[in-house]
Amino acid sequence: MFGSPYRLGLVLGMEASLADDRKAQLDYFRKNIKKAYKQIPPTIVDDGPVCENIVRGDDIDVEAFPVPVHHELDGGRYIGTACGVVTRDPDTGRINVGTYRVMVKGARTLASYISNGKQAASTATSISKRASRVRSRSSSASIRSRISRPRTRWPTRCPSTIGAAA
Protein backbone atom coordinates (compact mmCIF):
# COMPACT_ATOMS: atom_id res chain seq x y z
CA MET A 1 0.00 0.00 0.00
CA PHE A 2 1.36 3.44 -0.96
CA GLY A 3 4.35 1.76 -2.62
CA SER A 4 6.65 1.17 0.35
CA PRO A 5 6.72 0.73 4.13
CA TYR A 6 8.25 4.22 4.38
CA ARG A 7 5.36 5.83 2.48
CA LEU A 8 2.79 3.85 4.45
CA GLY A 9 4.35 5.05 7.70
CA LEU A 10 4.46 8.61 6.40
CA VAL A 11 0.75 8.55 5.53
CA LEU A 12 -0.13 7.08 8.93
CA GLY A 13 2.05 9.52 10.86
CA MET A 14 4.63 6.98 12.06
CA GLU A 15 8.27 7.58 12.85
CA ALA A 16 10.41 7.06 9.74
CA SER A 17 12.64 4.55 11.58
CA LEU A 18 9.72 2.10 11.83
CA ALA A 19 9.86 1.59 8.04
CA ASP A 20 13.00 -0.52 8.50
CA ASP A 21 11.15 -3.14 10.56
CA ARG A 22 7.78 -4.20 9.14
CA LYS A 23 6.80 -6.11 12.28
CA ALA A 24 7.51 -3.07 14.46
CA GLN A 25 5.49 -0.96 12.03
CA LEU A 26 2.56 -3.38 12.16
CA ASP A 27 2.74 -3.59 15.97
CA TYR A 28 2.74 0.22 16.21
CA PHE A 29 -0.24 0.41 13.86
CA ARG A 30 -2.24 -2.19 15.81
CA LYS A 31 -1.46 -0.47 19.12
CA ASN A 32 -2.28 3.05 17.98
CA ILE A 33 -5.01 2.78 15.32
CA LYS A 34 -7.88 3.02 17.79
CA LYS A 35 -6.31 6.06 19.45
CA ALA A 36 -6.02 7.94 16.18
CA TYR A 37 -9.49 7.39 14.77
CA LYS A 38 -12.87 7.68 16.42
CA GLN A 39 -15.00 4.72 15.43
CA ILE A 40 -18.44 5.61 14.14
CA PRO A 41 -21.09 2.99 14.92
CA PRO A 42 -23.30 1.93 12.00
CA THR A 43 -26.86 3.16 11.74
CA ILE A 44 -29.40 0.55 10.69
CA VAL A 45 -32.13 1.96 8.44
CA ASP A 46 -35.28 0.48 6.93
CA ASP A 47 -35.50 2.91 4.02
CA GLY A 48 -33.65 5.81 2.43
CA PRO A 49 -31.38 6.44 -0.57
CA VAL A 50 -29.15 3.49 0.28
CA CYS A 51 -32.14 1.15 -0.20
CA GLU A 52 -33.52 2.64 -3.43
CA ASN A 53 -31.53 0.66 -6.00
CA ILE A 54 -31.46 -2.99 -5.01
CA VAL A 55 -31.03 -5.54 -7.79
CA ARG A 56 -31.09 -9.29 -7.17
CA GLY A 57 -30.98 -12.58 -9.01
CA ASP A 58 -31.33 -12.62 -12.79
CA ASP A 59 -31.74 -8.82 -12.84
CA ILE A 60 -28.08 -8.30 -11.84
CA ASP A 61 -26.09 -6.62 -14.63
CA VAL A 62 -22.73 -5.17 -13.64
CA GLU A 63 -22.26 -4.02 -17.24
CA ALA A 64 -24.88 -1.33 -16.49
CA PHE A 65 -22.23 0.54 -14.46
CA PRO A 66 -19.87 2.94 -16.28
CA VAL A 67 -16.79 0.75 -15.76
CA PRO A 68 -13.63 2.20 -17.32
CA VAL A 69 -10.65 0.68 -19.08
CA HIS A 70 -7.87 2.17 -16.94
CA HIS A 71 -4.96 1.45 -19.26
CA GLU A 72 -4.81 0.74 -22.98
CA LEU A 73 -3.12 -2.63 -22.33
CA ASP A 74 -5.65 -3.81 -19.73
CA GLY A 75 -7.48 -6.98 -20.65
CA GLY A 76 -10.86 -5.43 -19.99
CA ARG A 77 -12.87 -3.03 -17.86
CA TYR A 78 -12.00 -3.00 -14.16
CA ILE A 79 -14.80 -2.18 -11.72
CA GLY A 80 -12.38 -2.71 -8.86
CA THR A 81 -8.93 -1.12 -8.92
CA ALA A 82 -7.22 -0.19 -5.66
CA CYS A 83 -10.35 -1.26 -3.82
CA GLY A 84 -10.83 -3.43 -0.78
CA VAL A 85 -12.16 -6.89 -1.64
CA VAL A 86 -13.76 -8.50 1.40
CA THR A 87 -13.74 -12.30 1.57
CA ARG A 88 -14.96 -14.68 4.26
CA ASP A 89 -13.71 -18.24 4.47
CA PRO A 90 -16.79 -20.49 4.68
CA ASP A 91 -14.92 -23.09 6.73
CA THR A 92 -13.14 -20.93 9.30
CA GLY A 93 -15.24 -17.75 9.17
CA ARG A 94 -12.05 -15.68 8.85
CA ILE A 95 -12.65 -12.33 7.19
CA ASN A 96 -9.98 -10.79 4.98
CA VAL A 97 -9.73 -7.49 3.15
CA GLY A 98 -7.26 -7.45 0.28
CA THR A 99 -6.51 -5.27 -2.71
CA TYR A 100 -7.31 -7.24 -5.86
CA ARG A 101 -8.28 -5.86 -9.25
CA VAL A 102 -11.78 -6.94 -10.27
CA MET A 103 -12.53 -7.18 -14.00
CA VAL A 104 -15.99 -7.28 -15.56
CA LYS A 105 -16.27 -10.44 -17.68
CA GLY A 106 -20.00 -10.31 -18.33
CA ALA A 107 -23.31 -9.10 -16.96
CA ARG A 108 -23.11 -11.46 -13.97
CA THR A 109 -19.45 -12.49 -13.94
CA LEU A 110 -16.44 -10.78 -12.38
CA ALA A 111 -12.86 -12.06 -12.38
CA SER A 112 -10.06 -11.38 -9.97
CA TYR A 113 -6.50 -12.67 -10.02
CA ILE A 114 -5.48 -13.67 -6.52
CA SER A 115 -1.95 -15.02 -6.34
CA ASN A 116 -0.98 -18.01 -4.23
CA GLY A 117 0.04 -17.14 -0.71
CA LYS A 118 -2.66 -14.51 -0.28
CA GLN A 119 -5.43 -15.10 2.29
CA ALA A 120 -8.10 -14.80 -0.40
CA ALA A 121 -6.46 -17.67 -2.32
CA SER A 122 -7.02 -19.90 0.71
CA THR A 123 -10.64 -18.70 0.86
CA ALA A 124 -11.10 -19.41 -2.86
CA THR A 125 -9.82 -22.94 -2.31
CA SER A 126 -12.31 -23.45 0.55
CA ILE A 127 -15.16 -22.16 -1.61
CA SER A 128 -14.11 -24.37 -4.52
CA LYS A 129 -13.99 -27.48 -2.29
CA ARG A 130 -17.38 -26.63 -0.81
CA ALA A 131 -18.89 -26.12 -4.28
CA SER A 132 -17.44 -29.47 -5.40
CA ARG A 133 -19.02 -31.22 -2.41
CA VAL A 134 -22.38 -29.60 -3.18
CA ARG A 135 -22.14 -30.59 -6.87
CA SER A 136 -21.42 -34.20 -5.95
CA ARG A 137 -24.57 -34.31 -3.77
CA SER A 138 -26.86 -32.50 -6.17
CA SER A 139 -27.66 -32.57 -9.86
CA SER A 140 -29.21 -29.10 -9.65
CA ALA A 141 -28.25 -26.74 -12.43
CA SER A 142 -28.71 -23.79 -10.09
CA ILE A 143 -25.24 -24.10 -8.61
CA ARG A 144 -23.23 -21.27 -10.14
CA SER A 145 -19.77 -21.58 -8.69
CA ARG A 146 -17.22 -20.67 -11.34
CA ILE A 147 -14.03 -21.04 -9.37
CA SER A 148 -10.89 -22.14 -11.14
CA ARG A 149 -7.18 -21.70 -10.52
CA PRO A 150 -5.12 -19.63 -10.90
CA ARG A 151 -7.76 -17.08 -11.90
CA THR A 152 -10.81 -16.96 -9.66
CA ARG A 153 -14.26 -16.10 -10.92
CA TRP A 154 -16.30 -15.22 -7.89
CA PRO A 155 -19.96 -16.15 -7.89
CA THR A 156 -22.30 -13.18 -8.21
CA ARG A 157 -23.85 -14.16 -4.89
CA CYS A 158 -22.28 -13.96 -1.45
CA PRO A 159 -19.82 -16.88 -1.00
CA SER A 160 -21.83 -18.03 2.02
CA THR A 161 -24.76 -18.83 -0.29
CA ILE A 162 -22.92 -21.08 -2.76
CA GLY A 163 -25.02 -24.13 -3.37
CA ALA A 164 -28.25 -22.46 -2.31
CA ALA A 165 -31.07 -22.40 -4.80
CA ALA A 166 -31.01 -19.32 -7.02
Using the predicted structure, report yes or no on whether residue 131 has a pLDDT greater than 60. Answer: yes
Query: Where along the chain do its domains lie?
Result: 5-36, 57-161
Query: CA dist 30 to 14, 34, 128, 147, 166, Å?
Result: 12, 8, 32, 34, 41
Using the predicted structure, report yes or no on whether residue 153 has a pLDDT greater than 70. Answer: no
pLDDT, tens only, 2-17 = 567 888 788 878 888 8
Residue 112 pLDDT level (bands cut at 50, 70, 90): confident
> Across residues 68-72, what is the average pLDDT?
87
What is the per-residue pLDDT for 105? 92
Residues 6+ apart with CB under 8 A from 77: 67, 68, 69, 103, 104
CA-based torsion, 117, 122, 123, 129: positive or negative:
positive
- The whole-angstrom separation of Cα 68 and Cα 81 is 10
What is the per-residue pLDDT for 2? 54
pLDDT, tens only, 22-47 = 888 888 888 887 776 777 888 888 88
What is the per-residue pLDDT for 104? 92
- The distance of Cα 119 from the centroid of its chain, to the nearest Å, equals 11
pLDDT, tens only, 83-101 = 788 888 888 888 888 888 8
